[in-house]
Amino acid sequence: PFDFRQARPLRMESEGKQVAYDQNFCLASMRGPLKLASWAQGANSGVEMELWTTEPGVQLYTGQYLAPPSPGLEGRRYKAFSGFCLEPQVWPDAPNRPYFPQATLWPGQIYHHVTEYRFRLP
């Protein structure tokens, strides 16, 4: 269920259960030029979203723990798996792994990254 090299639904089931993701995907060994990191398309709406980033990783979270106590947009109650997040980042545990892309910002250094979410309507 972790192979996204070909487009496929996020809502795949395994043994009758929705597959839950809270996983970092490693894109590169270091920050680099702006590049396409992910693409998604709404199955019903056809709306497309591209994620472009200079970060070396992207965290995919499918909302399995989503159960906000307050209503959301237009008073709707959201439940588990009612959305997903794509979060550009440095690889998790990078401060403890010297061979990972570094996340340490030393005094006097400037942190800079670029992330763009591009949407296209059908």
Which DSSP string do the residues of 40-107 spell out, in sequence order?
A: EE-TTT--EEEEEESSSEEEEE--TT---SS--GGGPPP-TTS--EEEEESPTTGGG-TTSPP----T
| Contact between residue 78 and residue 52 where contact means Cβ atoms under 8 Å apart | no
101 pLDDT above the threshold of 80 = yes
87 pLDDT above the threshold of 80 = yes
Tell me, rounded to whole angstroms, the distance of Cα 33 from its chain centroid. 18
Predicted pLDDT of residue 31: 92
Across the range 67-87, mean pLDDT stands at 84
Domain boundaries, the chain: 13-97+109-120
> What pTM was computed for the model?
0.86
For residue 34, give Cα distances in angstroms to 10, 45, 58, 87, 104: 25, 27, 13, 15, 21
Predicted pLDDT of residue 94: 93
34 pLDDT above the threshold of 80 = yes
Q: Which residue has the higher pLDDT, 27 or 73?
A: 27
Across the range 36-41, mean pLDDT stands at 96
